[in-house]
Amino acid sequence: MPHIVIKAIKGASPEQVRLAAEQIAEIVSKTTGKPKKYISVYYEEYSPHEWKDVYDECIRDKENVVIKPGYSDPVTFA
């Protein structure tokens, strides 16, 4: 607790992924007061073609998505 899931389109280097996970965990620790040692971060990569399925399943019309993306079409990101 907390467990953070990051879903992204492929392209980030392993170092970028590690750095992002570290920084997100640090911020979550600071804002929630939970020790960093209790925070886990999971990272999944998808092709641009697969992203529409992620959008439909995990983002579109979900009330618990705290920050929605600024695009209306997950295929063209327009």
Which residue segments constitute the domains of the chain, with CATH numbers given?
3-46 (3.30.429.10)
Tens digit of pLDDT per residue, the chain (78 long)?
899 999 999 999 999 999 999 999 999 999 999 999 999 999 999 999 999 999 999 999 999 999 999 987 887 776
Please give the model's pTM, rounded to 2 decimal places: 0.85
Q: How many Å apart are CA 69 and CA 65, to the nearest integer?
A: 10
Q: How many Å apart are CA 3 and CA 47, to the nearest integer?
A: 23
Catalytic pick among 2, 14, 35, 74: 2
Active site residue 74: no
Most distant CA pair in the chain, distance:
39
